[in-house]
């Protein structure tokens, strides 16, 4: 492993660390459901981006419910 040629002073270490602070992520509001969202990202609450339904969350939920119903019925028939 490489060894540093010179000791880093406390000051130079702290000067470098001055830029390490984290900042809170900026959020905007979803125009459809008013949920807080990250800018330029699909809304995770309603699945819309720029006025278009891109995640089809409603259809997905309906399909999952149908699948669950079918599975429950199969379980009951056993
Ligand atoms: Zn939304």
Ligand 1 centroid to Cα of residue 35, in Å, is 6
Ligand 1 centroid to Cα of residue 36, in Å, is 8
- Residue 70 included in any domain: yes
- Residue 33 included in any domain: yes
Ligand 1 centroid to Cα of residue 56, in Å, is 12
Ligand 1 centroid to Cα of residue 53, in Å, is 10
Domain holding 58, by residue range, is 26-77
- Residue 7 included in any domain: no
Residue 37 burial (CB count, 10 A): 21
- Cα–Cα distance list, 24 to 27, 38, 52, 75 (Å): 9, 11, 28, 48
Total domains in the fold of the chain: 1
Do 37 and 47 touch, CB atoms closer than 8 A? no
- Predicted confidence at residue 69, as pLDDT, reads 93
- Predicted confidence at residue 77, as pLDDT, reads 86
Tokens of 58: 């409603």
Residue ranges, the chain, pLDDT below 50: none
What digits encode the pLDDT tens for the residues 55-68? Answer: 999 999 999 999 99
- Residue 13 included in any domain: no
- Residue 54 included in any domain: yes
- Residue 48 included in any domain: yes
Handedness of CA 53, 54, 55, 56 (dihedral sign): positive
- Residue 45 included in any domain: yes
Ligand 1 centroid to Cα of residue 41, in Å, is 10
């Amino acid at each position: 492993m490489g060894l540093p040629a010179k000791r880093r002073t406390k000051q130079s270490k702290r000067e470098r660390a001055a830029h390490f602070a984290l900042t809170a992520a900026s959020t905007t509001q979803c125009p459809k459901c008013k949920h807080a969202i990250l800018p330029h990202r699909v809304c995770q609450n309603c699945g819309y981006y720029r006025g278009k339904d891109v995640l089809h969350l409603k259809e997905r939920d309906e399909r999952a419910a149908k699948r669950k119903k079918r599975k429950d019925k199969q379980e009951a028939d056993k």
